[in-house]
């Protein structure tokens, strides 16, 4: 799945010369936590987040005791002085997998999406990615998740799929994960039914080990 299909295209941005009050107002109005900073040609310059704004302001306790004049000084701090300049941006042609790996390694909440000319074309956040996974895995439909431990060899997946389809059960999705034993894998089918007792007995009779998905580590 390409980022171009997942990203938010109508991006709320802010200009380099805006102050912190303007940034706070935009975040509040549009219920967002990331504001890409762009120039007049929509080229990406930086990113300001709610965390950047909080870091630049005194603590809430202290803020209550300073004068209005001092408060105004903080609000007049420019976005350019608090924004992140060393950005990690991704391309519309990158994939969902690329974004997931970046999220894991960089520990950030959103990526600006830019074209070959470094023009901002979208933004993708953790929320966007989670929404797509829910959609892809069919988790928005009522069902049951199984965890089946199998040997890591050819043909195991077909046997499981055949056993499930023989019970006239529809799939929402299937995931495969590494097992702590090198020669095994864990298969997680999401089944669009609540009645899986006959299937579980069938799988156990076939020699498979079933785990509670909540106990998977």
Domains of the chain: 3-134 (3.10.580.10), 138-215 (3.30.70.260)
Its pTM stands at 0.69
> Would you state the pLDDT for residue 115?
95
Give CA–CA dist 76/146, Å, rounded. 55
- Which are the contacts of 124, defined by CB distance < 8 A and separation ≥ 6? 3, 6, 7, 8, 90, 99, 110, 111, 113
> Would you state the pLDDT for residue 61?
56
> Would you state the pLDDT for residue 74?
77
Q: pLDDT of the chain along its 217 residues, tens only?
A: 789 988 999 999 999 999 988 999 999 999 999 999 999 999 999 999 998 888 877 665 556 656 677 767 777 889 999 999 988 899 999 998 888 888 878 878 899 999 999 999 999 988 888 888 777 777 777 889 899 999 988 999 999 999 999 999 998 888 888 777 788 899 999 999 989 999 999 999 999 999 988 776 6
- Which are the contacts of 116, defined by CB distance < 8 A and separation ≥ 6? none
- Which are the contacts of 85, defined by CB distance < 8 A and separation ≥ 6? 45, 46
Phi and psi for 107 in degrees, rounded to 5? 55, 45
């Amino acid at each position: 799945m390409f980022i171009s299909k997942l990203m938010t295209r109508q991006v709320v941005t802010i200009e380099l010369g805006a102050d912190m009050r303007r940034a706070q107002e935009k975040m509040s109005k549009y219920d967002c936590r990331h504001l890409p900073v762009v120039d007049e040609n929509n080229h990406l310059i930086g990113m300001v987040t709610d965390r950047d704004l909080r870091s630049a302001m005194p603590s809430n306790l202290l803020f209550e005791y300073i004068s209005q004049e001092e408060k105004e000084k903080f609000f007049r701090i420019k976005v350019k002085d608090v924004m992140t300049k060393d950005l990690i941006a991704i391309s519309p042609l990158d994939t969902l997998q690329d974004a997931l790996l970046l999220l894991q390694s960089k520990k950030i909440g959103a990526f600006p999406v830019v074209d070959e000319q470094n023009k901002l074309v979208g933004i993708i956040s953790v929320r966007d990615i989670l929404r797509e996974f829910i959609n892809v895995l069919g988790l928005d439909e009522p069902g049951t998740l199984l965890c089946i431990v199998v040997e890591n060899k050819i043909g195991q997946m077909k046997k499981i799929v055949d056993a499930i389809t023989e019970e006239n059960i529809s799939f929402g999705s299937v995931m495969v994960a590494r097992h702590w034993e090198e020669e095994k894998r864990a298969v997680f089918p999401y089944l669009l039914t609540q009645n899986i007792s006959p299937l579980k007995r069938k799988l156990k009779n076939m020699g498979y080990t079933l785990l509670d998905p909540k106990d998977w580590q």
